[in-house]
Chains A and B, each alone.
Chain A
Amino acid sequence: MGGFLRQLVYWLPAGIALTDTVVSVLLVDGQSMWPTLNEDPYFADLVLVEKISYKWNHKYQRGDVAVLWAPDQPHQQLVKRIIALEHDIVWDSDRGKPTKIPQGQCWLEGDNPEASGDSRNMYGPVHLGLLEGRVTHVIWPPWRISSVRRWYPADRLIVEDSGGARALKDHEGI
């Protein structure tokens, strides 16, 4: 028993380092990402979150499902989808007007607009530095095991930063 405990204490820093910098799991709470996450009303999804894209590469992509720290509550984590990145112009459906995303920020929305507090109704553009990791897979319960794909609604983006005005098209599964 003492040997096991000592092993645990020995590997605790490595466990913390691993979950902070490489990959961790998260139990998703709430319906804001329904039906992508927590589709089953009786079982919360357990998801795999990879930290390499954001923390090492600083590569943020439209359509990512991201885990982030809430701007108004520094100890609260949220799971939302990146709809637009810095310099994009996004259609703010709550205010009914286009919004340009400042440098270093992004626009996030939950897949379930009625049950989601996000950039539209609560936060506005969110700092990219708050993004903690990217959800790649649902790993529990067993019948929900699947990969979480990159997708974003084409009707929301007016102008994508790369290369000026572009005709809207459906982006799915990129």
Chain B
Amino acid sequence: MAAGGSWSRYQQRIKSWMSAATENTSLFLHTLSCFYVFSRYGLFVSKVTGPSMLPTFGGQGDFVIAEAVTPMWGQLKPGDVVICTRPVDPAESIIKRVVAVEGEEVVLYPDRESSEVRRLTVPPGHVWIQGDNLTQSLDSRQYGPVPKALVRGRVVFQVFPKPGWVDNSMEVVRRW
């Protein structure tokens, strides 16, 4: 009789452990999924490395906040700083500024790529992106217009080192 009692108590302990484990796992998965949905469709943090966006970003470890709403459901406009999947390497991300949108004409002056003036119109569904630091940036001037579906977010706020809203206007481009 005593042996039967302790077995059933053991069974009960296992059952309550298992239901707690299931509940904790499901809570964990739910939380993880919420983080995913929030960062993929809402706001996410990104680190900027490299000199291609000087002087806007130092490239030594700036942290920025980007929103995914505009690229997905709104309209990107010239001047927007964006985070994209890198066209030459889908495993990496880049941060550049949109200089022209679909339908607009881009004029490429002679540089190390070619010795003549080239004009092209940005095709439908694409954007033309350039780093603010023109001399040290690999961008649309080298790899052409970028499909909008590669744009993951529009940078809105810089957290570190100088907190402040990011200037998503063509002022920087006009100063070139």
Q: Chain A residues in contact with chain B, CB under 8 A?
A: 10-11, 13-18, 20-21, 58, 69-74, 102-105, 127-131
Contacts and interface: CB of A to CB of B under 8 A. Distances in A.
A160 B126 CA distance: 29
A74 B147 contact: yes
Given A11-B30, A71-B125, 6 more contacts: A16-B33, A71-B147, A72-B126, A103-B88, A104-B89, A128-B90
Contacts of B29: 14
Given A72-B123, A104-B88, A129-B90, A17 B147 contact: no
Interface string B26-68: 0001101110110010000000000000000000000000000
Interface of B: 29-30, 32-34, 36-37, 40, 85-91, 123-126, 143, 146-150
A103 B29 CA distance: 37
A172 B150 CA distance: 31
7 contacts: A13-B30, A71-B149, A72-B147, A74-B125, A102-B88, A105-B87, A129-B149
Contacts of A70: 125, 149
A104 B86 contact: yes
Contacts of A102: 88, 143
A13 B33 contact: yes
B75 to A, nearest CB: 11
A17 B34 CA distance: 8
Contact of B90 (A10, A15, A71, A127): A127
A130 B149 contact: yes
A69 B150 CA distance: 9
A103 B89 contact: yes
A77 to B, nearest CB: 10
A14 B90 contact: no
Contact of B147 (A14, A15, A127): A127
A54 B11 CA distance: 44
A14 B33 contact: yes
A70 B143 CA distance: 18
A129 B90 CA distance: 5
Given A58-B91, A129-B85, A21 B36 contact: yes
A13 B36 contact: yes
Contacts of A73: 124-125
Given A14-B29, A72-B124, A74-B125, A129 B86 contact: yes
Contact of B87 (A13, A72, A129): A129
B30 A14 contact: yes
B119 to A, nearest CB: 19
B90 A104 contact: yes
A72 B125 contact: yes
Contacts of B30: 10-11, 13-14
A16 B37 CA distance: 7
Nearest to A16: B37
